[in-house]
Amino acid sequence: MKLKITQIKSGIGRKEDQKRTLKALGLKGINSSVEQEDSPAIKGMLFKIKHLVEVEEL
């Protein structure tokens, strides 16, 4: 299953590990979206930045 991840809040002023997580997922700014495969690693990354992103199942 694939997940569509959309950044809805800025990474400015956030902790460095949260900024790195956004970058690792491929998100470049507010309203940017990426599609990722659903895996435990991706779920862990999303848990860390759940307040900055919106997730949809495809």
Provide the greatest CA pair distance for the chain. 32
Closest CA to 10 of 52, 46, 54: 52
Determine the Cα–Cα distance for residues 21 and 49; give it in Å rounded to an integer: 8
Task: Give the bridge partners for 2, in sequence order.
Answer: 37
Determine the Cα–Cα distance for residues 35 and 2; give it in Å rounded to an integer: 7
Tokens matching residue 52: 């900055």
- Model pLDDT for residues 7-57, shown as the tens digit of each residue: 999 999 999 999 999 999 999 999 999 999 999 999 999 999 999 999 999
Q: Is the pTM of this model over 0.85?
A: yes
- Report domain 2-48's class: alpha beta
Please state the domain extents for the chain: 2-48
Determine the Cα–Cα distance for residues 23 and 46; give it in Å rounded to an integer: 12
